[in-house]
Chains A and B, each alone.
Chain A
Amino acid sequence: MKKLIFIMLMICGSLSSSAQSKYLTKTGFIGLYSHTTMEDISANNNQVASILDIATGEIIFTVLMKSFKFDRALMEEHFNENYVESDKFPKASFKGKITNLSNVDFKKDGKYNVDIDGDMTIHGVTKPFKTNGTIEVQNEKIIGKSKFLLNPHDYNIEIPNLVKSKFADNFEITVDMTYSSLKK
């Protein structure tokens, strides 16, 4: 148990706050969607690991690229082998902070708007990233949701010319995470 708490703290990168303020999910949901004239591209990942520290507002996501499931096997193969190169870059991650933490009362059930600021790493490329979302406190669980656009070109994801017209410039990303307290 001590070893696991140590690993959690390492993941959070902060040794100052106790495990009491940390919330975890291992079944976080991230969906990606892009509409093109030919077809809709959509994939779902239900194995996102994330830790939220309600004392500091720090938030970390670890996303396994191979966990993105497409309806069609061929599209998933292209995604992994040609676009995100998941054998070379198996995980995407986000390390950041809720910048308006005082806006959230974690002791009171309710829905709060939050601003998030940090670094996004995809395909081996790290870029600063800012977005907003909602935090819902519900019965000792914390639900974090956000929706934003990502441009694959920002992360050196090459879309071959042949299929370039098939992709819109941006992917719509939907995040839906339900966190539970780390101490059980």
Chain B
Amino acid sequence: MKSIFKLSIIIISIIIVIGIIIGIYLYFKPQADISKKRADVVLKASELYNEYSSNENQANTKYLNKIVEVSGPVAELTNNPDSSLTIILRDSSVDFGLNCNILKNNTKGLNKLQKGVIISIRGVCSGYNSIEVALNNCALVK
């Protein structure tokens, strides 16, 4: 009887410790590394922008919170106050496109990108801010 009692205490303690470790891991987990994840959908930057600008609600049902991989020409590069980088993907013939935000840990070498170069970016679609489609946690697709 005594040894079963001891064994159950040990097992319960192990479960509690594992639970605490999982809890701490989740609590401190940083933003996901999107470059390591598979895209839910692949399309051209102009296609994503056109879908959102013509019907925002319909585009949200298709793309909101999904990992999208988009390709298009670099139109603008902006260094933000929090050291993140904004890359706007947009054809030169239009005024607005995709606003892709790259967190400060992933920006190495990216602010040297030339305007007009066509790149592929993977990120989470955050929706439409009424002017451009917003992508976050972006990473360059190599």
The 8 Å CB contact of B84, one of A64, A69, A72, A74, is A69
Q: Is A115 an interface residue (CB 8 A)?
A: no
The reply to whether A47 and B29 contact each other, CB–CB distance below 8 Å, is: no
**B3-39 toward A: CB 8 Å interface, digit per residue (1/0)?**
0000000000000000000000011111110000000
- A69 CA to B127 CA, complexed, in Å: 14
The distance from the CB of B85 to the nearest CB of chain A, in whole angstroms, is 9
* Alpha-carbon gap, A27 to B128, bound state (A): 13
Do A46 and B126 have beta carbons less than 8 Å apart? no
Closest residue on chain B to residue A43 by CB atoms: B82
The total of interchain contacts (Cβ-Cβ below 8 angstroms) comes to 91
Classify chain B's interface size: 20 to 34
Provide the bound-state CA to CA distance between A91 and B82, in Å: 21
Instruction: Evaluate contact between B136 and A67: CB separation under 8 angstroms.
Output: yes
Is A4 a contact partner of B81 (Cβ separation < 8 A)?
no
**Would B129 and A4 count as touching, CB distance under 8 A?**
no
Q: Assess the A46–B127 pair: CB atoms within 8 A.
A: no
* Complex: A154 Cα to B103 Cα, angstroms: 31
Interface residues of B in 92-110 (CB under 8 A from A): 95-96, 99, 101, 103
Nearest CB in chain B: distance from A4 CB, A = 5
Chain B residues, CB < 8 A from A62: 129-131
The CA-CA distance from A74 to B137 in the complex, in Å, is 15
A: number of interface residues (CB 8 Å): 28
Query: Contact between B127 and A66 (Cβ–Cβ < 8 Å)?
Result: yes
Complexed CA–CA distance, A90 and B125 (Å): 12
Nearest CB of chain B from residue A84's CB, rounded to whole Å: 13
CB pair B127 A90 closer than 8 Å: yes
State the B residues within 8 Å of A (CB). Answer: 26-32, 60, 65, 78, 80-82, 84, 86, 88, 95-96, 99, 101, 103, 126-132, 134, 136-137
- Which residues of chain A have a CB within 8 Å of any CB of chain B? 1, 4, 11, 24, 26-27, 29, 31, 44, 46-49, 62-64, 66-67, 69-74, 76, 90-91, 176
- What 8 pairs across the A-B complex have the smallest Cβ distances? A66-B126, A44-B82, A49-B129, A49-B131, A46-B80, A47-B134, A62-B130, A64-B129
Known: A66-B126, A90-B127. 13 other contacts (CB 8 A): A11-B130, A26-B88, A27-B78, A46-B101, A63-B129, A64-B126, A67-B127, A69-B84, A71-B30, A72-B30, A73-B30, A73-B31, A91-B127
